[in-house]
Structure 1
Amino acid sequence: MSRSVPEPLAFPPHARPPADIFFSFFRKPEPAPTKPEPVPVLAQDNLFHPFSKSPFPMLQARGEAIKRIAPCPGAPETAEAQVGKPQVRIFILGARAESSLPVHVWEQLCLLFPAAQLHIFFIGPQVSLPKPETPKPPAQFQPPIPPTDQATQAAGATSPTPDMPPTSDASQPPAPEATVPAKIDPDTVHQNKIAELQNRKEYLPNVFKPPPPMPIDRQKYTRNAVNRYGVPSYTTPYTKELTVTGLRTNYLDVHHLFSESLDPYSDVFFFFSPGFGFPSENSFAEDGITPLPQIASPTEWGSVLPLLLESKCPIFVTGFSPADVERDVRSLSEAPDVAGQFEWVVMPGPNTFSSEKWEISDFDPRVMIKANWGIWAIRGRSKDIQERSMLDGLLPWRQ
């Protein structure tokens, strides 16, 4: 049998290994070959692109699916599509702080509807008007006073003249003597209080009346519109897509200017927390004690709502809390010429675009409010038209 012979060692036994084996432990390892840096799929200057040019295959496939399944029938809205379209008018009644916002805030509506021409009307007794134009008077040239004249004037102002003798304390009129207040009879005060309590009506809540906002800054093309509307007003054609007009008056005073041109398809009314259900300060029920809600008061919103319902234009109303929305909606059934004369456009509910901040109300520190918490909309009740045929009088079941 053949036996395998072991291979000879690299160096004989009991022999000293080569020196390079020991020194190899102290040598620095050779650097590994550098790999090329990966190219980023998206760069900071190339983050947004259409689906068809996306570097991700999944997004490219989505773009192809959109083209195949949902073809777009036409081009999206652009500013060029304004040609031939009527102007959309937005009437904000009872405007207060809304009228004091900068115009560029309202310009955001043009970004949402680029193919619309918007005209916003702020109407109310507390609408903010632009600052009045006060041209600066031209500076008048004053010649310098010679030094000699200055010294003469200073001397004349300090030294008495022969015609005017120096004044003394003796020439001053005597001080008036202090008057003693009359004695008040406590019985008379008590009787007056009793008479005041007997004549006082039932307690009325203190309705908060905020002061008018500060005047707004005048824009480049702001002009006075008193001659057109007959009330303190202004008009600012901010851009070709947006025009803003403010009228400091009640809506009843200018309704005749818009009544014949109101269009349900291009005009809309907005009330931001109008307080339809709040008690009125000026109108009372038949007993003369119970206050009417503001929506039924002839001096407040009672005369405005019927006119708006006749126009069939949509009316959007907001509320600052669930209780405020419920109070305003319930008041619709108590107002004459309003109850049963409207139909719902938007059912009452939370507003998606409401403020996210709860605040303490100005009229009662016990009430928490959130601006435009809820929203609802109504319009004038539509009437169905039925066509009568010649068979209506012949067939008994169609009479």
Structure 2
Amino acid sequence: MRPSAPYTCKRCLNALQFGPRTTQYSLLSTRLALGRRTLTGACEKPRLATATQVKTQSSQKIAGRRTIASLGDQRQTAKDEPSEYRSPGGLASTPIPESEGRPLLMPNNLFHPFSSSPSPEIRRRAAFIKQNAYCPHPDHHQTRLPTSPNDPEARKSVKGSMPPKHVSFECPDCGIPVSCSEEHWADDYEAHLEICDTLREINEDDHDLRSGRFFPEFEYPGDQMEEAMINMTNWDTFMFSREFRAINDERSLRQATRLLTYPVTIGSVLHELSPYNIKKGGRLTVEGLKSLSALRYSLHPPRSGGGADIKGLRPTPPPMRIFILGARAESSLPREVWVQLAHLFPRVSFHLIFIGPESMTNRDAEFPLPERTPGNPFGAVVEDRLTNSLKISTFVEYYHTLHKAGHFYPYDPYFDCFVLFHPGLGHPASSHEWAETIPQLLETKVPIIVTGYTQYDMERDIKWVQETVGGEMDLLMHPGENRFRSLRWDLNDLDPQDISCGNWGVWAFRGKRYETMMKDTE
């Protein structure tokens, strides 16, 4: 029987009448695993504690777990599809309800150790971490060369007292495998405290994505009147001025920004109301003002006076082409996310071009790729019916191959822009892939927007570009923190000490322009 309306809200009435609502974005958002990683250091300031306090806390936790371990018959064993959850100590709690064959986790029940998680995906992830990640304790000798000053491998010696060993012990505070044994975890507890809170936050966010709840933060607004000004000071002002549904929970805000950081980062640099300007602290250089002024001239055209009748016909400018090179996770984003970029510039149309050998990752439903024909020589996947102002093309190919073929010529600084999300230009494992591409990008004289995981990652990329092309580049925007970075932290499964967030920093450059002047001979 349907409950009386005066005592039940409208949303609950709909849920009781039509059943719980589900969303397709929860699965898509959980598959945003970025391919390349750069090693970062601690993302939070360490808690101030003396060595005696740390040893005392560690001894108390170890004693407590040994007491609970005596209740071995009550400890839960991992199953493929658990119908109930037992706490890490082994005491049974209330069964977890299920929704559509998966466990439904409540907001106050999101923390679970990875190896005993209700989600089979997270349990498989825990097994992968234990098979590939190494213990960060300084007694082990190095497994590779450190890639940054904050790399945990820098704490180890080349010839340590112990050989490398995979992690197997899960920290009871964050629930993630971080050490090879309980003794090493307790001995290195002070160093682990620097990232323990962030790892626990990652744990809860991952379980939240698989909790089975409805995700209202993944519902995006449509067009709005042009007179409504967009405030790009930060995430809060942007979402308020764009009329997003109110998000009052920090976890929901982290989930929303994890997806929106890609289109909004591009829009925040190109928009006329961008927080990056020529003023003091605005990070924009004089050359950057020249390049971005050309793009903003095309992105914010005056009203043409066009109409639907014959008298109202007006010439239409070409679409704004945004080349996203080395595309990985951003190419598999829900298309509703990329439509938000078009809503920021309602008078122009966009053509997003994803280029890279991994640009079809997590898009298994679209395989096999189109055949390479004379009309489509590189087998592009074209999505041209998303909206009347957005078209997306995907090329599973290296950019330097397309550049040599002249596939996108000519380039126009008023209508073209390159974007590189976490390219790893200076990373030892990926720099060789960009050695041929970067000089070709500088030849186009088109702005190139680059993001990075950390300040060190960005500075390493800039140094590599300067060493590779010499003085043939102009810096358009100084490196610094991105105002629209992802607020959610990500974990590198190959190294649990490596935590990062998407698009933490942003900077820009282009090929150097040489201006000539005519000299009067008289």
Taking structure 2 as the reference length, the TM-score comes to: 0.38
User: 1 or 2, which has the higher helix percentage?
Assistant: 2
Taking structure 1 as the reference length, the TM-score comes to: 0.49
